[in-house]
Structure 1
Amino acid sequence: MSSFNLYRSSRYRRALFALSLALPVSLLLAAGVGAYFIPPLEIPRVLWEKADQAYAVLVAIRFPRVLLAALVGAMLALAGAVLQGLFRNPLADPGLIGVTSGAGLGAAIFIVLVPGAGPLQVFALPVMAFVGGLLATFGVWRLASNGGRVQVLTLLLAGIALNAAAGALIGLLISRASDEQLRSLTFWTLGGFGGATWITLLAMVPSGLLALWGLLRLAQPLNALVLGEREAFHLGVHLEPFKRQAVALSALAVGTAVAAAGGVGFIGLVAPHLFRLLAGPDHRYLLAGAALLGASLSVLADLVARTVVAPAELPVGVVTSLLGAPFFIWLLLRYKREVAR
């Protein structure tokens, strides 16, 4: 192995090691900081003694919230990394395949058209969002499919069309919504982890872990696809099954995340790019690195959302958009300069 390859390999490993340390640090920080402050270094003692109010706050409120934020961030970032590799476009985002807008439409239908759901809303709303996201992805796939083959560009255009249609239907439902329904829909659409419970977390763990496991296994075909579809085929990649697997697992990851937390934007775009800047584009490391980085970013964004205007709370989607939009503009300008060369 050349000295350059050894350097690149060690750079990837250093980045993964740093992110593996950053995630538990961010989890401890987010678990301790809040309206009821618990020194992060005291958390192990509090958990061991199980004696005071701090223990109840940690177990009942903070831990479900920070763990849900970490899992959602990991799923969004990993799906974003896979879709950027599939589309071979650094500006690709999980929302492009329609799952985010489909989930939003499913939630809007339930909030506006099923009044008086009461306690059922806690369970039925995420289910409707999840089903809406998967149906939207299936519709995009059917639109882009031609004789059993799917063109990536056609898939992208179908996603844009379905996003527009779902946005129009959500707007129609908003025009019919009452003030209470409008508030509920607005806060859900902007995203947040305020309603996190152990039940919510456990409900999303099976599909979330399945999506993470499946997406992490796509590193080798994504590396081959960088060379182009024809070259990837000659390297042994079965393109159509691979595309179906990548889109289905991405939809599962994003649908689960949106169902649990609403619309938390830009993590799927930002996290993969930050890891590329830290280490490089090799998907064998990029996928795991993006998941770790996305988890940390989501946890820290939630920490900012619930502390910066305390005792009130900002939607997490607002925080991630405020941070992600300038980054997206920078990426767009950089991509434009590279194309012009």
Structure 2
Amino acid sequence: PRLALSADPTYTFEGGELDLPWPDEGQGGVVVEGVGTVGMYGEQKPAPIASVAKTMTAYVILKDHPISGDQVGPQITVDKQAGEESNRPDESTAPIEEGEQFTLKQMLQLLMIPSGNNAARLLARWDATTEEAFVKKMNAAAKELGMKDTTYTDPSGLQATTVSTAADQIELGKAVMQNEVFRDIVNTPQIKIPGVEPMIYNNNRILLEPGVSGIKTGSSTPAGGNLLWSANTVVDGKNRRIIGAVMGAQQGTTLDDKLQLSIDNSLKVIKAAQEGVTSAGVVKKGEVVGYVDDGLGGRTPVVATKELRAVGWAGLDVKLNLGAGAGREVPHTAEAGTVVGELTIGTGTGKVSTPVALQRALAEPGFGAKLTRVG
């Protein structure tokens, strides 16, 4: 026996396509986790990403040295190179000194919040002995994530040869935001780290806006202003994560102007996406959505046991999938009302589902049906 879908396999949200206020330069896009791509803009071609590269540095570090919950990880000693680099006036650095010790979590905070280039290079050496060896790990991780248009040449993003696309960085954003420690760090507007004299402030100045939660800023002369961001919106009482990027903001006099422009443009897109992502009733409770096919001509209808509401936006097509569910098999016989599978839409954190149950009793095929099959 197997389950087969009889309901429409797709559902289209009402309205035209969701119109987002894209910038008139650079490249970017928006994805709703587990649902799909809201839209992309600009030519998705490799471009310098500046300090947005530190997102991959953090991803590789947490992959090699996982921590969770209240864990802070091992102690890391500031070496001579990282201490000397903290005084470079032409770089974004973390104010650390040779011989100081910080936990792994604190080093990740120094990496992501003030965007310390010296922290990035120190973490690379701590993890892989040399920065070159660590960069190979970064590129291997990018390949695993399907980031086909990305090349890392340094752990900080200072080099203009570290390039990527908005689409690739969004893929990385989706992966790294699964880590609760990382989410906590990039959602921190300011922090006081013991041993570091000044208060540390995040360059992402929209973190206090409703639902905005990271991820990483980046700016340089070749890159312009960049922001890889995450935001949440509440749909049917549940948080839905939106990941996006705005890259290549060049319409500004100074680098800070360009960075602020990418941040401001991102906020406009975020607000529109938060407002545009909604839900719709796709299947009603008790509606026949498919049947159990016994393979010998018998079909027993199955019904949704509750309303199925999909997450989406105007113009989106979503696909319905009917199956037994992980680790389950469709029974040969069962009473009416028995749950035999589930109807799902979406994947991962965006997945919504309803159990499906038999509308009437499921019986073994009769002798005649079996005899006909043999014949």
Q: Same fold (TM over 0.5)?
A: no
Relative to the length of structure 2, the TM-score reads: 0.26
Going by fraction, where is helix more abundant, 1 or 2? 1
Going by fraction, where is strand more abundant, 1 or 2? 2
Relative to the length of structure 1, the TM-score reads: 0.28
The one of the two structures with greater contact order (alpha-carbon pairs below 8 A, sep at least 6) is 1
